């Protein structure tokens, strides 16, 4: 069935014409059928504009890790489409091409349907806005409860003879079946976390959007980040882990153990020594107190199994900690200027308000600001609960299932499980547990090891493919309120992809201005979070995407450039908080800039210039 075709003026290549990446033949079998462009849906799929989700899923997808976008496909969609009835928008569809995620916004195409939805939206979203703080409190309790359940989840080992307790406690259920149940539970737990993730997010963004649109109408030239600054709070959870490190740095100095913390050994070993050191007792106590949850902080977005957290690898927090000790000893003040941020927020708000031409507009502005500030804490903090705290626990729990597959002879290494998708892992457990029960042979032992080896080869081939930014026809206009805010898909962006954008010079890269100011310095290209220890004071960070836990890095660098991201992306928010110039959404920054290049970052215009090498 086709809906009214909007006026199509330009066209990227059809998803059906994209050739398989060289050497990656067979990549399709890694992912569930519903992520494939198919002959059955061809007519509909060929009529949609698809763009690569570089904001949330910029990398080749590990089969198992597709669970995160599968989670948000349902959770985001249902809240737009079925629950809050966002009038012009259904959800976001997903497909995978050569291992990369492509997404398309599904519009509500009939005017009549849109009208029907207005009344439902007003009632339901209105109810949430009216009770926002209370609902958010309940939301936090639900998340903490969900994380608790996850931590308690047992992933039993299988032994030749099952444990005695099955009999003495009259359980009636074997460890084998418990394992199958646990796998089902861990998958459900992830989906539930994402159900919560979007419970308040879509309508939260709607409130933000309302303020943005008003300000853009009243002040056509106003920079997006200034509107964001009128709303942003100063107590984001994202800054809490970093603040705790600063406190620990000070405590280390006060207790006279600064040098013990700074010895050049693995942080885990230093910590082990300190646990037996009476002089460090108070410090260790203090660390243990904040460990949970502030060290459950991902070095990435939390979306992938390889986005490890502080608790998994102490390199990142330790580098920051010792850096803070050095700076405190030099007499620097490390406190974030919280009051200054709040003062600026109030000054901006009242000055723009004053510039409005009449009282009527001021009244509307006040209402819009009030609603946007009401939803802001949720927008800012939900990630910490879901992608950081919950996912840190979840990815570690998942690895226990990998261990079971290794023990059952299905895999060589626990990490190999990520080359299987979630359904395949379920099948493997069904097979493993059944053959454990029957005592018969399991084919899975040979099948999965071979498949994993094959997929590692495919995976490498996919890495060498450069994803096209978009596929399919470009309509004249898009009525999708969240695409711009969440994915930074603006008119200019699409024009640049189409080659219609303003040409920039050979040594220039155009991105989105995300935090004002201009800086020049030496570039440090950091492709993944395990390399952030290499960054030196005063360098300019160039990265594919930044995550909130890179916070400590921002006190070292003097500007940031990212391949992907929009005005509300993490890099943008954190840079503004630290007062650093930032340009996001450059597309090619990490490919065109090399570590050691001198670059100029203009956070006002979004232009990044690679400067000529001086002798």
Footprint of another protein (CB under 8 A)? 9-10, 86-89, 114, 118, 121-122, 125-126, 206-207, 209-210, 213-214, 217-223, 226, 347-348, 351-352, 355-358, 360-361, 363-364, 367-368, 371, 474-481, 483-484, 490-491, 494-495, 498, 500, 516, 604-605
Q: Which is nearer to another protein, 74 or 210 (CB)?
A: 210
Q: Which is nearer to another protein, 483 or 586 (CB)?
A: 483
The answer to whether 407 touches 436, Cβ cutoff 8 Å, is: no
Least CB distance from residue 353 to another protein, whole Å?
10
Least CB distance from residue 484 to another protein, whole Å?
6
In total, the chain counts a number of residues equal to 615
Least CB distance from residue 95 to another protein, whole Å?
20
Q: Which is nearer to another protein, 234 or 250 (CB)?
A: 234
Q: Which of 157, 155, 178 is nearest to 407 (CA)?
A: 157
Q: Which is nearer to another protein, 106 or 290 (CB)?
A: 106
Least CB distance from residue 3 to another protein, whole Å?
15
Tokens read off for 607: 């232009």
DSSP classification of residue 385 = I
Provide the pairing of β-strand 540-543 with 559-562. parallel
User: What residues are paired with 103 via a beta bridge?
Assistant: 51, 94
Q: Which is nearer to another protein, 221 or 439 (CB)?
A: 221
Specify the residue for token string 């903490």.
144
Least CB distance from residue 24 to another protein, whole Å?
31
The answer to whether 53 touches 566, Cβ cutoff 8 Å, is: no
Q: Which is nearer to another protein, 118 or 340 (CB)?
A: 118
Tokens read off for 336: 């974030």
Least CB distance from residue 567 to another protein, whole Å?
15
Which H/E stretch holds residue 319? helix 315-329
Q: Which is nearer to another protein, 51 or 324 (CB)?
A: 51
The answer to whether 308 touches 298, Cβ cutoff 8 Å, is: yes
The answer to whether 537 touches 556, Cβ cutoff 8 Å, is: yes
Q: Which is nearer to another protein, 552 or 581 (CB)?
A: 581
Q: Which is nearer to another protein, 217 or 537 (CB)?
A: 217
513 — phi, psi (to 5°)?
-65, 125
The answer to whether 177 touches 433, Cβ cutoff 8 Å, is: yes
Chain Cα centroid distance, residue 506: 31
Q: How far apart are CA 261 and CA 246, in angstroms?
A: 13
Least CB distance from residue 521 to another protein, whole Å?
18
Least CB distance from residue 199 to another protein, whole Å?
18
Q: Which is nearer to another protein, 39 or 477 (CB)?
A: 477
Q: Which is nearer to another protein, 117 or 592 (CB)?
A: 117
For residue 384, CA distances in Å to 58, 71, 433, 581 come to 20, 17, 36, 24
The answer to whether 21 touches 468, Cβ cutoff 8 Å, is: no
Least CB distance from residue 217 to another protein, whole Å?
5
Q: Which is nearer to another protein, 265 or 363 (CB)?
A: 363
Q: Which of 173, 320, 188 is nearest to 245 (CA)?
A: 320
Going by C-beta distance under 8 Å and a sequence separation of 6 or more, which residues neighbour residue 443?
A: 431
The answer to whether 533 touches 23, Cβ cutoff 8 Å, is: no
339 — phi, psi (to 5°)?
-65, -40
Q: Which is nearer to another protein, 478 or 509 (CB)?
A: 478
Torsion of CA 249, 251, 252, 256, to 10 degrees: 140
Q: How far apart are CA 371 and CA 211, in angstroms?
A: 9
- 3-class DSSP assignment, residue 533: helix
Q: How far apart are CA 131 and CA 138, in angstroms?
A: 11
Q: Which is nearer to another protein, 544 or 566 (CB)?
A: 566
The answer to whether 606 touches 512, Cβ cutoff 8 Å, is: yes
Edge-to-edge strands, sheet with 540-543: 508-510, 607-610, 598-602, 518-525, 540-543, 559-562, 582-584, 512-515
Least CB distance from residue 576 to another protein, whole Å?
12
User: What residues are paired with 81 via a beta bridge?
Assistant: none
The answer to whether 133 touches 375, Cβ cutoff 8 Å, is: no
Least CB distance from residue 483 to another protein, whole Å?
7
Q: Which is nearer to another protein, 358 or 615 (CB)?
A: 358
Q: How many CB atoms lie within 10 A of CB 127?
A: 13
Least CB distance from residue 20 to another protein, whole Å?
29
Least CB distance from residue 394 to another protein, whole Å?
33
Q: How many CB atoms lie within 10 A of CB 88?
A: 18
Least CB distance from residue 479 to another protein, whole Å?
4
For residue 385, CA distances in Å to 141, 142, 201, 265, 389 come to 10, 10, 13, 32, 5
Least CB distance from residue 400 to another protein, whole Å?
43
């Amino acid at each position: 069935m086709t809906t009214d075709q909007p006026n199509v003026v330009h066209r990227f290549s059809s998803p059906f014409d994209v050739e398989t990446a060289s050497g990656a033949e067979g990549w399709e079998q890694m992912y569930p059928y519903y992520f494939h462009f198919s002959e059955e849906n061809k007519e509909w799929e060929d009529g949609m504009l698809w763009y690569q989700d570089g904001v949330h899923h910029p990398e080749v997808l590990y089969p198992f890790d597709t669970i995160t976008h599968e989670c948000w496909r349902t959770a985001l969609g249902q809240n737009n489409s079925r629950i809050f009835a966002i009038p012009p928008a259904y959800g976001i569809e997903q497909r995978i091409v050569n291992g990369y995620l492509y997404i398309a916004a599904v519009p509500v195409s009939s005017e009549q349907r849109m009208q029907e939805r207005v009344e439902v939206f007003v009632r339901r979203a209105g109810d949430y806005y009216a009770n926002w703080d209370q609902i958010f409190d309940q939301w936090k309790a639900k998340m903490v409860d969900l994380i608790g359940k996850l931590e308690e989840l047992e992933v039993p080992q299988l032994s030749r003879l099952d444990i005695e307790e099955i009999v003495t406690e009259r359980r009636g259920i074997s460890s084998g079946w418990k394992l199958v149940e646990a796998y089902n539970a861990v998958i459900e737990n992830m989906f539930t976390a994402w159900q919560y993730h979007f419970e308040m997010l879509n309508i939260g963004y709607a409130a933000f959007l309302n303020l943005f649109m008003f300000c853009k109408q009243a002040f056509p030239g106003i920079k997006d980040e200034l509107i964001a600054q009128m709303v942003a709070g100063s107590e984001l959870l994202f800054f809490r882990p970093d603040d705790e490190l600063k406190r620990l740095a000070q405590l280390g100095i006060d207790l006279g153990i600064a040098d013990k913390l700074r010895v050049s050994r693995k942080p885990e070993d230093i910590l082990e020594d300190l646990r037996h050191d009476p002089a460090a007792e108070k410090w260790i106590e203090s660390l243990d107190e904040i460990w949970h949850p502030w060290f459950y902080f991902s070095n990435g977005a939390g979306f992938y199994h390889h986005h490890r957290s502080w608790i998994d690898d102490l390199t990142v927090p330790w580098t920051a900690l010792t850096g803070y000790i050095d700076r405190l000893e030099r007499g620097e003040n490390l406190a974030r200027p919280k009051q200054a941020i709040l003062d600026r927020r109030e000054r901006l708000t009242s000055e723009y308000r004053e510039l409005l031409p009449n009282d009527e507009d001021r009244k509307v502005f006040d209402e819009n600001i009030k609603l946007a500030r009401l939803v802001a804490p949720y927008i800012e903090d939900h990630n910490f609960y879901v992608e950081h705290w919950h996912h840190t626990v979840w990815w570690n729990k998942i690895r226990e299932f990998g261990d079971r597959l290794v023990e059952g002879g299905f895999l060589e290494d626990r990490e190999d499980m990520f080359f299987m998708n979630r359904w395949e892992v379920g099948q493997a457990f069904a097979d493993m547990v059944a053959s454990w029960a029957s005592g018969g042979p399991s084919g899975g032992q040979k099948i999965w090891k071979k498949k994993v080896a094959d997929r590692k080869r495919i995976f490498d081939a996919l890495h060498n493919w450069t994803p096209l930014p978009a596929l399919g026809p470009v309509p004249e206009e898009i009525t999708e309120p969240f695409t711009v805010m969440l994915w930074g898909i603006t008119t200019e962006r699409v024009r640049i992809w189409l080659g219609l954008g303003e040409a920039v010079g050979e040594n220039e890269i155009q991105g989105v201005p995300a935090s004002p100011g201009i800086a020049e310095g030496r570039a440090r290209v950091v492709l993944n979070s395990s390399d952030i220890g290499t960054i030196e004071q005063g360098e300019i960070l160039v990265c594919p995407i930044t995550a909130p836990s890179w916070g400590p890095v921002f006190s070292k660098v003097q500007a940031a450039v990212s391949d992907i991201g929009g005005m509300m992306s993490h890099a943008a928010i954190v840079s503004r908080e630290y007062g650093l110039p930032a340009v996001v959404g450059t597309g090619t920054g990490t490919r065109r800039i090399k570590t050691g290049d001198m670059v100029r970052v203009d956070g006002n215009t979004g232009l990044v210039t690679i400067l000529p090498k001086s002798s």
